[in-house]
Amino acid sequence: MIEEEKIIKAKERNRKIFPIYKMFSWDLLFYYTISFLFLSQVKELSVSDIFLGDAFYAIFKIIFQPLAPIVINSLGKRKSTILGNILVASSILLMILLEGSVKNLIIANLFMAIGFIIKNICEACILKENIEDDKNKNHNFSKIDSKGSVYYYIFDAISSAATGFLFVINPYIPMYLCFIFCIIATLISFKFEHYEVKKEKQEREPLLEVLAKKISLSKKEYAFILKSRRLHSLILFMCLFNAILYIRSTIASSIFVDIGIPNKYFGVIGAVLALASTIATSKQNFFHKKLRNKVLTFFSLGYSVAYITIGIMAILKINYVLTVTIVLLMMILQKAIKGPYNTLIKRYLNSFSNNSISVRIYSTANLMEDIGAMISSFSVSLLLKQTTTPYASLIIGIVSLILFIVVLDYMKTRIGLKPEEYRKQDIQFNAKEKEEVNVIQIAVGLDERGKTNVRIY
């Protein structure tokens, strides 16, 4: 009984810490607003070189993604989160200290990639494991997660407003501030309390048998992910959507330079965009309730149309004020979509998992997202050798719009069905080990009132 009370208190503490932790750790503060300017003007890299470096970041994530569960299962989620934060902080320090070259950018991206791989898997799993199991678990998850996202976006808006002006004073100031906040995130990650559910002592098995069972279980987990049409269609959507999310920041900065926005205003614009994400993220439950099974359709098609509009306006440049206004409005739309998407997509993934398979599902989803990011980065890098950023934005928008229409049509018969319409392999994962059989029922989905059949197409 005492042990149970300790676990309950540890979970409560971790839930309280999580939003504060996410405020500092979710992504890089003081960085994205001026990263393009820092790499292009201070480190003297071309736009194509920057996208090439971004592509290697995605490649490293793809290479090391399958190894992440091994590291996490060996160290535990808390220690792995600490390690991930240390690696991310190290990557920023390398960007500051190393000379400007594609090789050095790739080295820095190696550290950043491994750090974010580990962090992204652990953070979602830590929050999920610290929420009590009941019919509102998914709702409570998205509520706490979105709270942390809102805190981050508010902080990001404040920091972005100052970043452009700090860059003009000294381009290294925002980078050092980014590094400092990475250190703060690392220190907060130490505050997560570790707890362990005691199990009855069992007779030790030979190491080879244990390894064989772990390999067998991993095969079953991956087989479930591949066979579940619900799960692999959602992951396919995530791959495509992350492909256009990943390149947005660099495309936006390059567009700003192309249409003639002064460097000192980059931060102010970044603050406005962060504010849009803050407001939209705080309303993630509104999007979920209002759009229901059309939420991903609205997000994906809206994002693609924004790319097309940005490209057209930057190409035509009919009027400076009109061009800047419409481009900014489209970028605000993109940021307003990105905020709630990041929270809701994890909520939808949780409908497919529990603590036993969540690491594998998140790892697979992240891997597919990184494949999308790699393809888009390489494609844009090659594209920019032949044309300008405005035309690249137009092409990206048209191609992604066509692909989303195809993918969304594919998802119609696989996601958002009635419970009885799913195949057994779509909603149930079986893991049989030695004398005990663990049957993990993958929830079809519960809304805030506990009703089934949450449609997420």
**Beta carbons of 423 and 229 less than 8 angstroms apart:** yes
Angle at 282 between CA 278 and CA 284, to 5 degrees: 115
Round to the nearest angstrom and report the end-to-end CA distance of the chain. Answer: 43
Supply the pLDDT for residue 445.
Answer: 35
Tokens at 129, concatenated:
């494991």
Share of the chain above pLDDT 90, in %: 29
Residues 446 and 448: their CA atoms lie apart, in Å, by 7
**Beta carbons of 263 and 424 less than 8 angstroms apart:** no
Supply the pLDDT for residue 325.
Answer: 94
Residues 296 and 68: their CA atoms lie apart, in Å, by 28
3-state secondary structure of 446: strand
* Cβ neighbours for 282, distance < 8 A, ≥ 6 positions apart: 146, 150
* Cβ neighbours for 250, distance < 8 A, ≥ 6 positions apart: 35, 36, 47, 50, 51, 54
Q: CA torsion 321→323→327→329, rounded to 10°?
A: 50
Cβ-in-10-Å burial (0-12, 13-18, 19+) of 436 comes to exposed
Tokens at 241, concatenated:
């959507």
Tokens at 240, concatenated:
């495509």
pLDDT single digits (tens) 283-332:
877 787 787 778 889 999 999 999 999 999 999 988 999 999 999 999 99
Residues 443 and 446: their CA atoms lie apart, in Å, by 8
What phi, psi does 237 have (nearest 5°)? -60, -45
| Of the candidates 39, 34, 59, the residue with the CA atom closest to the CA atom of residue 50 | 39
Tokens at 424, concatenated:
């057994």
Query: Does an H or E element contain 105, and which?
Result: helix 102-129
- Axis-axis angle for helices 68-75, 102-129 (nearest 10): 50
Residues 412 and 415: their CA atoms lie apart, in Å, by 6
What phi, psi does 148 have (nearest 5°)? -65, -40
- Sites in the chain below the pLDDT cut of 50: 199, 201, 417-457
Considering Cα of 59, then 63, then 69, then 73, what sign does the dihedral take? negative
* Cβ neighbours for 294, distance < 8 A, ≥ 6 positions apart: 457
C-alpha atoms less than 13 angstroms from C-alpha of 192 in its C-beta half-sphere = 25
Tokens at 338, concatenated:
């990105």
What phi, psi does 319 have (nearest 5°)? -145, 135
Supply the pLDDT for residue 212.
Answer: 59
Supply the pLDDT for residue 218.
Answer: 56
| Of the candidates 206, 251, 211, the residue with the CA atom closest to the CA atom of residue 376 | 251
Residues 256 and 334: their CA atoms lie apart, in Å, by 15
Neighbours of 282 (CB within 10 A): 17
Residues 232 and 377: their CA atoms lie apart, in Å, by 23
Considering Cα of 23, then 28, then 32, then 37, what sign does the dihedral take? positive
Task: Say which residue the tokens 């209002």 belong to.
Answer: 290
Neighbours of 232 (CB within 10 A): 16
Tokens at 384, concatenated:
């920019």
Residues 113 and 98: their CA atoms lie apart, in Å, by 17
Neighbours of 310 (CB within 10 A): 30
Tokens at 197, concatenated:
């559910």
Residues 38 and 31: their CA atoms lie apart, in Å, by 9
Neighbours of 53 (CB within 10 A): 23
Query: Does an H or E element contain 437, and which?
Result: strand 436-441
What phi, psi does 434 have (nearest 5°)? 50, -120
